[in-house]
């Protein structure tokens, strides 16, 4: 038997690639712009080692031109360009990346700037175009060449005229079909928004001719259109700017621009790391709960960038559920991207980043609690519940991260207090951290169960959120002090009103028996109590579940 080699059917491969690896057609622009940016970077890198070359950053830009009549879109750059061979090699062979080779040859290890690596991005142009022409003149060459392809039938290369070094890519857009609109890629505002979305932080200016309407000179009501060349990207991302040069307003503007919320962030965190993994991040803690926070529509996550290019709009893995309210972006050079650059290949780096970010958020919240109590309480009003859910759903595994961030209403202080504040003023003989659960502070205050503990002068934490008691049960204890519900049968307190204790169970056997008959299954047993002073009767629980928890659980659908 002979073994035959597989032959790559490049036509089919191209088709497959173009139509299956990318989920959004619009990313073709991201890919072409990334290539243009890489091409300019390559001149920059060459100039570092070649004295005959100089790199004036101002001379380098990327230009997008629309021709509605011809239905063409043109992307030009003054980058390093391609020789005839480079055109053959890089555009004639799918999955061949000249940029990857360049990084290797030039030993650019921290080559965080150069984006290309897989050698497929270019072909994404065929998602929107049925003909692509590339005109290029390489640095140091006198000749220019034209590469042209209809995608399916291969390509042609021939000499052509081009004055300056660089590359022009011309896409002849596909005709609209019933389900698909390609005309949109001829609209200025649409292209501008795609650039903003994916390529806002490409380091070189991306220019477009933008049509604006303005009052005719000397006229009060007549308008005229005029065309102005504009730079449509912001180039330097705020997270790469020097913190010292940025103001609170800059961060707040960014928050608004990104539509993170209609409120102002209560806190922003600008952080970066260099080490096992390097990244820059800007994180925001919103002031108010987003309107859809408790709905299925709400998506947690941070925006993820790789080398300034947007990869994922909401990367869930970057945030633990209990910090799902945090907004912001992470930019890292260390991510292993998959071929479409839409998803991540290995998540080791991502996990590391996520871990760092979690710690950072935790520390910043602790700082806020210490330094700006009022703000922290505002935050806690909006998102405290999420922290408690976090403890509950993590079965207490994140105890160390979250317990110091918790606050409850205190019977003593008549305001929110932390567990640390509670335990640090506990009298020595007090065994437990007491809490009372109920619908409202008012109702808890009036409940007979609190009587003995309050009488003793002990502080009680009032739990008014359904999740409170569940979360506390997961914590089990705080600084080695166990939590104890005031409705518990054994409070660990010696009752002082011994005088009343004459009412023994034995003497009242008949009465208690009758009461039990009437109440039936609603209660387990009627007993004389030593804990009451002002109230004739109270409910208490014997087992693990408190009365309030039982109420909540029985109200839940099966
Ligand atoms: P990648 O960018 O991942 O390398 P692409 O398919 O996007 O893959 O591009 C393939 C190669 O073609 C690039 O690596 C680069 O060598 C070359 N190339 C593409 N566009 C340009 C351009 N505008 N200027 C110079 N070279 C380019
Ligand atoms: Mg590319």
Nearest residue CA, atom 16 of ligand 1?
Answer: 98
Q: Is the CB of 97 under 6 A from ligand 1?
A: yes
Cβ neighbours for 443, distance < 8 A, ≥ 6 positions apart: none
Q: Are 239 and 329 in contact (CB under 8 A)?
A: yes
The answer to whether 213 is a known ligand-binding residue is no
- Angle at which helices 27-49 and 188-199 pack, to 10 degrees? 60
Q: Are 414 and 462 in contact (CB under 8 A)?
A: no
Give alpha helix (H) positions in 167-265.
188-199, 248-257
The answer to whether 122 is a known ligand-binding residue is yes
Nearest residue to 304 via CA among 342, 277, 250, 338: 342
- Which residue is it, tokens 């595994």? 397
Chunk the chain into consecutive blocks of 10 residues (it has 558) and report each block's average pLDDT, rounded to whole numbers. 57 71 88 95 87 86 97 97 94 80 74 71 92 97 95 88 97 95 96 93 94 89 93 90 90 88 92 90 94 89 88 91 96 78 72 94 97 97 94 88 96 95 93 92 86 89 92 92 87 62 69 84 78 72 68 66
Q: Using the mean position of ligand 2's atoms as its centre, give its distance from the Cα of residue 97 in Å.
A: 8
The answer to whether 190 is a known ligand-binding residue is no
Q: Is the ipTM of this structure higher than 0.90?
A: yes
Q: Is the CB of 340 under 6 A from ligand 1?
A: no
CA distance 309 to 332: 10
CA distance 327 to 336: 23
For residue 431 the two structure tokens come to: 């065994």
CA distance 145 to 306: 32
The answer to whether 82 is a known ligand-binding residue is yes
Q: Is the CB of 118 under 6 A from ligand 1?
A: yes
| Ligand nearest, relative to CA of residue 30 | 2
Cβ neighbours for 475, distance < 8 A, ≥ 6 positions apart: 391, 396, 399, 403, 483
Q: Is the CB of 167 under 6 A from ligand 1?
A: yes
- Which residue is it, tokens 């191209």? 14
The answer to whether 98 is a known ligand-binding residue is yes
DSSP state of 534: S
Beta partners for 134?
Answer: 147, 169
For residue 155, count other CB atoms closer than 10 A to its CB: 16
Q: What is the pTM of this model?
A: 0.73
Q: Is the CB of 120 under 6 A from ligand 1?
A: yes
Beta strand 279-285 with 223-231: parallel, antiparallel or unpaired? unpaired
Q: Is the CB of 117 under 6 A from ligand 1?
A: yes
Q: What is the pLDDT of residue 138?
A: 97
Q: Are 208 and 64 in contact (CB under 8 A)?
A: yes
Q: What is the 3-state secondary structure (H, E, C) of 212-232?
A: EEEECCCCCCCEEEEEEEEEC
Q: Using the mean position of ligand 2's atoms as its centre, give its distance from the Cα of residue 106 in Å.
A: 18
Q: What are phi and psi of 279, to 5 degrees?
A: -165, 165
Kindly report, residue by residue over 362-396, the tens digit of the pLDDT: 999 999 999 999 999 999 999 999 999 999 988 87
């Amino acid at each position: 038997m002979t073994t035959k080699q597989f032959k790559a059917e490049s036509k089919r491969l191209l088709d497959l690639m173009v139509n299956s690896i990318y989920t959004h057609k619009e990313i073709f622009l991201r890919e072409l712009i990334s290539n243009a940016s890489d091409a300019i970077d390559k001149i920059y890198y060459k100039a570092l080692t070649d004295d005959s070359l100089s790199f004036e950053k101002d001379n380098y830009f990327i230009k997008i031109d629309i021709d509605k009549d011809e239905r063409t879109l043109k992307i030009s750059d003054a980058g390093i360009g391609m020789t005839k061979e480079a055109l053959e090699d890089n555009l004639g062979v799918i999955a061949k990346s000249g940029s990857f080779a360049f990084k290797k040859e030039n030993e650019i290890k921290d080559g965080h700037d150069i984006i290309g690596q897989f050698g497929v991005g270019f072909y994404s142009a065929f998602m929107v175009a049925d003909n692509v022409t590339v005109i290029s003149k390489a640095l140091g060459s006198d000749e220019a060449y034209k590469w042209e392809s209809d995608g399916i039938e291969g390509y042609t290369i021939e000499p052509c005229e081009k004055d300056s070094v660089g590359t022009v890519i011309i896409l002849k857009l596909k005709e609209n079909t019933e389900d698909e609109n390609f005309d949109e890629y001829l609209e200025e505002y649409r292209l501008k928004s795609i650039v903003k979305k994916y390529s806002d932080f490409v380091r070189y200016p991306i220019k477009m001719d933008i049509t604006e309407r303005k009052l005719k000179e000397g006229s009060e009501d007549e308008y005229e259109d005029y065309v102005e060349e504009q730079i449509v990207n912001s180039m330097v991302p705020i997270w790469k700017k020097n913190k010292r040069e940025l103001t609170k307003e800059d961060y707040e503007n960014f928050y608004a621009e990104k539509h993170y919320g209609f409120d102002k962030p209560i806190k922003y965190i600008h952080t970066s790391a260099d080490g096992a993994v390097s990244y820059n991040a800007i994180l925001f803690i919103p002031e108010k709960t987003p309107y859809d926070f408790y709905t299925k529509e709400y998506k947690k996550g941070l925006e993820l960038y790789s080398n300034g290019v947007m990869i994922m709009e909401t990367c869930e893995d970057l945030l633990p559920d209990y910090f799902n309210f945090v907004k912001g972006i992470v930019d890292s050079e260390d991510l292993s991207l998959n071929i479409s650059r839409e998803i991540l290949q290995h998540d080791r780096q991502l996990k590391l980043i996520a871990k760092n970010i979690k710690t950072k958020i935790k520390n910043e919240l602790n700082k806020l609690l210490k330094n700006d109590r009022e703000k922290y309480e505002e935050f806690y009003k909006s998102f405290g519940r999420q922290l408690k859910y976090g403890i509950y759903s993590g079965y207490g595994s994140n105890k160390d991260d979250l317990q110091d961030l918790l606050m409850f209403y205190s019977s003593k202080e008549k305001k929110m207090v932390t567990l640390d504040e509670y335990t640090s003023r506990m009298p020595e003989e007090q065994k437990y951290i007491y809490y009372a659960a109920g619908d409202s502070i008012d109702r808890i205050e009036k409940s007979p169960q609190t009587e003995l503990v309050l009488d003793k002068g002990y502080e009680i934490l009032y739990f008014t959120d359904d999740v409170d008691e569940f979360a506390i049960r997961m914590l089990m204890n705080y600084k080695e002090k166990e939590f104890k519900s005031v409705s518990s049968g054994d409070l660990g307190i010696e009752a002082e009103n011994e005088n009343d204790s004459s009412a023994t169970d034995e003497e009242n056997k008949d009465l208690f028996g009758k009461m039990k008959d009437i109440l039936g299954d609603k209660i387990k047993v009627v007993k004389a109590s030593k804990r009451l002073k002002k109230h004739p009767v109270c409910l208490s629980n014997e087992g693990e579940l408190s009365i309030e928890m039982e109420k909540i659980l029985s109200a839940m659908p099966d």
